[in-house]
Amino acid sequence: MQFNSYNMVCCIKKTFLIAIISHVMCLPVISQAKLTPVNLSVNRLYNTEQTFLNGYPTTTPLNESLSHKENFQFVEISTHKPQLGWIINATTNNTLQTSYRILLASDFIKLQNDDADLWDSGKVDSNQSINIQYEGKPLEASKIYYWKVKVWDNHGNESDFSEVSQFKTSDELTNYFTDRYPLQKQDDSPLLINQTDKGNYFVDFGKASFGRVRIKLYAESINDSIIIHLGEAKQGEKVNRSPGGTIRYAKYLIYPKVGWNTYIITIKPDKRNTGSQAILMPKYIGEVTPFRYCEIENYSHNLKETDITRETVFYPFNELESYFHSSDTVLNQVWDISKYTIKATSFLGVYMDGDRERIPYEGDALINQLSHYSVARDFSMARYSHEYLVHHPTWPTEWILQSVLIAWEDYMHTGDSKSLENFYTDLKAKTLSQLSDDDGFISTRTGKVTPEVLKSIHFNGGLNDLVDWPYGERDGFVFTEINTVVNAYHYRTLTIMSDVAKLLGKNEESFYYKNKAIKLKKVFNKRLFDKKLGYYIDGVGTNHSSRHANMFPLAFGLVPEKKIESVMKFIRSRGMVCSVYGSQFLLDVIFNMGDAQYGLDLLTSTSERSWYNMIRAGSTMTMEAWDIKYKHNQDWNHAWGAAPANLISRKLMGIEPLEAGFEKMRIKPQPGSLKSAEIKHPTIKGDVYMKFHNTPDKSFNLELVIPANTKADVYLPYYSKKQKVTLNDESIKFRREGKFSIIENMGSGKWTFHVEK
């Protein structure tokens, strides 16, 4: 027997997605459209009224008594003064919110009657639609609250009140806490079932995910025994018993009862990923393992599709919040595997390094964070992971420094500074300024890593410079006391901390960090830049130059304008001589420097050191390394390999926040030779839709939908002084910046831009 629904599923999925995009990109511009606040959030969590039973969404209403019922899960709001937010749904171009009014009540009926017994904000003149702090009567623990909002816009429109949203407070309230969603379960049916031999079946679920099997079996005798094999890799039509590395395989023996019974395959804990440092699965979910394939041996009865189910676990994830499709089939596959990886590896509710250890690392967290922002409107998992790592740091020097970068990305994407305020002292320590010498260089090799320094960064162990991982991916980097990569990171933390201090009103400290950064940049270029070569050396005391010693200074703003081209020339000459982790920074640099074609070439490469190679190897999640030959114990479920999810969105399509909370964004597509692409990108202010058609060096057409209550600087190609630039078929003025024609401060709504040489 064979059941194969793969082609049918793909066809339905393709038709459905085309329908979505066709609808989105043809949004009418209606001058008198109704204004509506939607997607209400509490502490940046959406759908706070949803309840779960052992991970499965339920229809049970949120109520106070659920706190005392086993196996129910729901969002709990832990702060005395939660932050409220919404997205403005408006199709009128150039829509900005001018005022809002929030009503919050202890009873649904009261709120329906506009009786806000706890807080009526009144009409507040403000364009703020996110991170609005509750200022009503004190909230109580373990209570349900109801709220709604209405808004006014700059066109003179007043909205109706939104739908009512509700949330439940936790058993204890505090001033600051990062609330999260419960983990969620989803049942997956097989895409293919093959009877490979009498009594043997091979099951393919299409993609690997973290979960367990639920299977319905029939037995005629108590002497029956059935073998179940689970794994990420296959060998012919069998689960690969020896896949190598940390690619998962497990075997389970079942002695079924007589008659029909449904069994859950209880996953055996792995000693390494359930140790003292690992993040453990909650009891209501149980232990899971990553697998795509299931093989059943010695089962003499007919196995139907409905007899076997995979219970998949993930952090709540809306598949429809993001989309990407282009004219390049390899690029599409790279996006798909990267997006799926972000969902599939969220099974712990915290960013981790893959299934081998299940430990959060700052190196993984930054890439995971940027990619998560690009494919889903969730900010809680990134913030929770960051704040966990502040107090549970890992050993690489650069990754201690990277905590500061993660904190800044959190602020830029959420617009909320509360995490910066609460962890400000910790972030100062994470700059590792305590290790600096008279020149401003920091080093872990000069005896300055004292117990006091380690205590300030909450670390009990020894720091070691990393550069890249695994060690064979460092392009021959030579370690010295003054490490170029480490000090490039340090410079970036100083510039960020200057901005953070200024944001928090600590002007003297802002000035301090700014001056330290200026001093370091000067000495960095004096002592680490080789004028004869035209690029940077690995450190003081060596004449070796690696790609890493050049891409990190360029990524973090250390390279003077006149030296950029020679540094880029060296970087281009090296090929992909960095790890999957390092590729994030390499591609950032390449696109930041405007070398779009090189960036596209690397993203769509089919060489051994490419994302496509992960697909070719058989994985459905991104890998820890380019290939098992580069890391003998690598896994097939590593989110730091999913960098293309953010590189395509942030750099190739060019959607990034210019001001915190997407108060203003940059739209800077860099397609190279890519003929066409379209994307839906979620932000805290709403969805950005883009679609372009590109004839390189001749014409470029861009359709763009900017969400309400924000604005954007739009970057288009610059061909020549004679080029024509139009907006909605009318000529428009632009500012030239190198290869780009820039139209500044575009308001919300649907716009069509065209550039003709």
pLDDT of residue 223: 82
Superfamily of domain 184-314, CATH level 4 = Galactose-binding domain-like (2.60.120.260)
Residue 753: how many CB atoms within 10 A of its CB?
A: 22
Residue 21 has pLDDT above 90, yes or no: no
Examine residue 470 and say whether the peptide bond preceding it is cis (omega within 30 degrees of 0).
yes
pLDDT of residue 622: 98
Residue 358 has pLDDT above 90, yes or no: yes
Which pair of structure tokens corresponds to residue 523?
């000495």
Q: What is the mean pLDDT of the chain?
A: 94
Architecture of domain 31-174: Sandwich (2.60)
pLDDT digits (tens, 9 = 90+) for 685-708: 999 999 999 999 999 999 999 999
Strands 165-174 and 77-79: parallel
Rounded Cα–Cα distance for residues 116 and 120 (Å): 6
Rounded Cα–Cα distance for residues 41 and 49 (Å): 10
Strand, coil or helix: 489: helix
For the chain, the structural domain boundaries read: 31-174, 184-314, 319-392+575-652, 397-563, 665-756
- Could you tell me if 593 and 564 are in contact, meaning their C-beta atoms sit under 8 angstroms apart? yes
Which residue in 671, 669, 689, 686 sits closest to 743, CA to CA? Answer: 669
Which pair of structure tokens corresponds to residue 752?
């069509």
pLDDT digits (tens, 9 = 90+) for 306-336: 999 999 999 999 999 999 999 999 999 999 9
As to burial, measured by CB atoms within 10 angstroms (0-12 exposed, 13-18 middle, 19+ buried), residue 41 is buried
Which residue in 210, 289, 303 sits closest to 252, CA to CA? Answer: 289
pLDDT of residue 222: 84
Residue 125 has pLDDT above 50, yes or no: yes
Rounded Cα–Cα distance for residues 559 and 424 (Å): 28
Strand, coil or helix: 257: coil
Strand, coil or helix: 282: coil
Query: H or E element: which one contains 705?
Result: strand 699-706
Architecture of domain 397-563: Alpha/alpha barrel (1.50)
Domains 184-314 and 397-563 share a fold: no
pTM of the entire structure? 0.95
As to burial, measured by CB atoms within 10 angstroms (0-12 exposed, 13-18 middle, 19+ buried), residue 647 is buried
665-756, which class in CATH?
mainly beta
Strand, coil or helix: 55: coil
Phi-psi group of 432: left, alpha or beta (phi > 0 → left; psi -120 to 50 → alpha; rest → beta): left
Residues whose CB falls within 8 Å of the CB of residue 126, separated by 6 or more in sequence, listed in order = 97, 98, 99, 100
364 backbone dihedrals φ, ψ, rounded to 5° = -70, -40
